Structure 1
Amino acid sequence: MKIGILALQGAFIEHEEIVRKLGATVIEIRQLSDLEEDIDGIILPGGESTAQGKLLKELGLLQVLKEIIQSGLPVMGVCAGLILLAEKLSNDTKQHLGTLPIKVKRNAYGRQLGSFSSQSIVKDIGTVPMTFIRAPYIEEVAPIVEVLAKVDEKIVGVCFQNQIGLSFHPELTNSFKVHHYFIELCKKNSLKNL
């Protein structure tokens, strides 16, 4: 399994470490030629969504990445990555990839001081520790989107086709359950395409 990890900005190294521990190969996505690698899935990490979106555009990655995701490549967007995937943002006019039919509220839990940890059930995965840092939450989902997790009645995890969107940071905990689930999704998708 080869997992691409967007490595332009943000917390990508933590994802890389977990993916390697789970036995998959990591491909850092920094430029257009990196997307020519034969990857089985891609992780869009947390960080600063505005900076990541700007870099994706400047480096010519935005449209190509959008097309790859729309063609079925599994993707997991975490925090800023969720914002990049969202079709709509309730408190911003920007749209980045726009492949996930949801509406997201950026920095919904406030600034850094509003960061917190929780534990909650994620559908098909079980109870997982969740770390929220200046996190968004999902305000609306299209009927075709499956809600995977809620915390305090707010949607913090969704799945649509091969796209997983999370408000929280699974890479900042000692649980590998979410990454394992994503890698299994990549394996199933890869077998389906053989």
Structure 2
Amino acid sequence: MTQQHYFNPQQEDILKELINVSFGLSASLIGDMLDNHAKLHIPEISSIDILNLDDKIIELLDKTHEFYLTKQRFLGSFNGEVLFVFNAHSAEAFSSLLLQQARVDESDMKASILELTNIITSACIGKFCEIIHGETIFKVPSIEKRDVNRMQEYDKIEGYDNVIVIKTALDIEKENILGHMFILLNNQMLEHLKHTIDTL
């Protein structure tokens, strides 16, 4: 799959720094929630065309078939959508830590993952809004379980052109909870973000 380069190296460095700061804040909040030390790593940031989103999800899941997908719209002077993808193992590991029980059911798992992604989305998009002096409101997030073998059956996401892909690992108690964050933007929002990054 061809990777787009929407950001030049300097823009990418600033973007990574912004995400690092927001992930530091998120990790602190997640650590408080779990009463445990949490660290969010950002191994990789890339950009892709929205048409390659499904293929990218399949590639990142690496032979895992079932996964959880969360979606959350943000609207205002900075608008777009954030998706998160977790394989079943990571979803279960996080839920077990949060609820402090070895076995968790499907509804508990979905509620736990929504809580986790809500924290990260708010911190990250909040940081972007801060730098572009924009305002945004968050819509209620949703979550569903999907299967990579049935990707053609799911509704396609429309209204966006570009995706910033952030592969992250959450370290808690030696658990490596791997999540993939996708920030969906249209061309206008992407250019606005790039222009603001250039002025920083």
Length-normalised TM-score, structure 2: 0.31
- Greater RCO (CA < 8 Å, at least 6 residues apart): 2
Length-normalised TM-score, structure 1: 0.32
